[in-house]
């Protein structure tokens, strides 16, 4: 088949391709901006589903099952007409689309009966992505007697186990002295160095809970939200002024969003609630 299509014999040329697993990710990356993501479709062509591609748009069907050489989608991609603005689909991906059409343009399962313009459709393959899976506590890893002294937390055991899988011997860093510990913790959580009084109090606290108490105190500090809220503000593009013109017009009420973010961190607001708000 690859000889008929003029492509190289690639590793997946012998297996059955499906729209959801092999084709939709390509179209989503290169084509959905114009043909599926918004309510307005370029040329009335929607590429989100196989049946919508077969229906086509103003220029007719985008695909003809079993006949890639007659399929408008393949022609447009190979001629470089799609996508626009110089964003070219790699040749091996175009060949994969052509092979899929030659195989009959098969789907892995029945498609949704309806899909409104601009509606976000998440396939089963996309839902299976690791980032969308529920958080699961990993199983505890058994550690040999000769390594037990190195394990203080479950994370240490997991690191050692992964090292064994790859025949790598991890060498843990030596314990930091208490003065270094408080400095690392304070700078990491609040962005500020500890005061002389804080250092002295920590050095003189001989209890087993001294470090835990230090971390709790730093997390309760208002400076924690100021330190870590800044990262979210950077992602959101926060600024006190427009910054895009010579006038640099102030944003009079922008500080309200800044303070809201800082407050959310200091209140330990759940992330899902923070995103919704």
Same-domain pairing of 186 and 125: no
Q: What is d(CA 201, CA 141) in angstroms, rounded to the nearest whole number?
A: 37
Mean pLDDT of the chain: 89
End-to-end CA distance of the chain: 53
Last residue of a domain, one of 73, 103, 131: 131
106 and 185 together in one domain = no
- The answer to whether residues 6 and 101 belong to one domain is yes
Helices (H), the chain: 2-5, 24-30, 50-55, 72-79, 91-102, 124-127, 154-165, 178-190, 196-204, 210-220, 222-236, 254-266, 271-276
Specify whether 163 is located in the same domain as 271: no
Q: Are 13 and 2 in contact (CB under 8 A)?
A: yes
- My answer on whether 201 and 219 are in the same domain is yes
One domain, residues 83 and 59: yes
Give the pLDDT score at 11.
53
Query: Could you tell me if 185 and 259 lie in one domain?
Result: yes
Q: Which residues pair with 57 in a beta bridge?
A: 60
pLDDT higher than threshold 60 for residue 47: yes
70 and 167: one domain? no
Question: Is 89 a residue whose pLDDT tops 90?
Answer: yes
Which two three-digit tokens encode residue 152? 């203080």
Q: pLDDT tens-digit profile of 100-147?
A: 999 999 999 999 988 888 888 888 888 899 988 998 888 888 887 777
Q: Which of 70-84, 120-134, 167-181, 242-256 has the highest mean pLDDT?
A: 70-84
Question: Residue 9 has what pLDDT?
Answer: 47
Q: How confident is the model at residue 242 (pLDDT cuts 50, 70, 90)?
A: confident
Q: Using a pLDDT cut of 90, give the percent of the chain over it.
A: 60
Which domain covers residue 165, as residue numbers?
Answer: 137-172
The pLDDT of residue 12 is 53
Report pTM.
0.55
**Number of structural domains the chain divides into:** 3
Dihedrals phi, psi of 49, to nearest 5 degrees? -130, 155
Give the pLDDT score at 262.
97
Q: Which of 52-56, 80-84, 200-204, 220-224 has the lowest mean pLDDT?
A: 80-84
DSSP state of 61: -
| pLDDT average, residue stretch 250-273 | 94
112: left (phi over 0), alpha (psi -120 to 50) or beta: beta
What are the residues facing 60 on neighbouring strands? 57
Identify the domain boundary among 172, 195, 228: 172
- SS3 call for 250: strand
Same-domain check for residues 150 and 257:
no
Considering the domain architecture, whether residues 226 and 141 belong to the same structural domain is answered as no
pLDDT value for 8: 43
Residue 122 sits in the same domain as residue 159: no
Where is pLDDT greater, at 172 or 235? 235
113 and 166 belong to one structural domain: no
pLDDT digits (tens, 9 = 90+) for 2-44: 443 444 444 556 789 999 999 999 999 999 999 998 888 999 9
Residue 76's pLDDT band (cuts 50, 70, 90): very high
> What pLDDT is recorded for position 246?
74
Q: What is the pLDDT of residue 3?
A: 42
pLDDT, position 2: 43
């Amino acid at each position: 088949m690859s000889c008929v299509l003029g492509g190289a014999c690639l590793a997946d040329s012998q297996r059955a391709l499906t729209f959801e697993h092999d084709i939709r990710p390509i179209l989503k990356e290169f084509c959905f901006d114009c043909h599926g993501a918004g309510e307005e479709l370029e040329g009335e062509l929607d590429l989100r589903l196989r049946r919508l591609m077969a229906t086509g748009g103003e220029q007719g069907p985008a695909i003809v099952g079993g006949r890639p050489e007659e399929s408008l989608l393949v022609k447009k991609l190979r001629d470089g007409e799609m996508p626009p603005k110089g964003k070219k689909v790699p040749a091996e991906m175009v060949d994969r689309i052509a092979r899929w059409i030659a195989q009959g343009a098969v789907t892995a399962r029945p498609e949704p009966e309806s899909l409104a313009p601009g509606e976000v459709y998440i396939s089963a393959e996309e839902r299976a992505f690791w980032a969308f899976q529920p958080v699961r506590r990993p199983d505890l890893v058994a550690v040999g007697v000769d390594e037990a002294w190195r394990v203080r937390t479950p994370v240490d055991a997991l690191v050692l186990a992964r090292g064994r899988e790859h025949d790598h011997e991890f060498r843990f860093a030596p314990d930091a002295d208490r003065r270094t510990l408080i400095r690392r913790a304070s700078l990491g959580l609040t962005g500020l160095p500890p005061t002389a009084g804080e250092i002295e109090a920590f050095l003189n606290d001989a209890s087993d809970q001294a470090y835990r108490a230090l971390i709790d105190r730093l997390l309760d500090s208002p400076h924690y939200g100021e330190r870590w809220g800044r990262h979210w503000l950077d992602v959101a593009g926060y600024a006190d002024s427009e910054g895009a013109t010579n006038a640099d017009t102030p944003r009079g009420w922008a500080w309200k969003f800044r303070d809201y973010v800082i407050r959310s961190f200091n209140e330990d607001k759940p992330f899902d609630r923070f995103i919704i708000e």
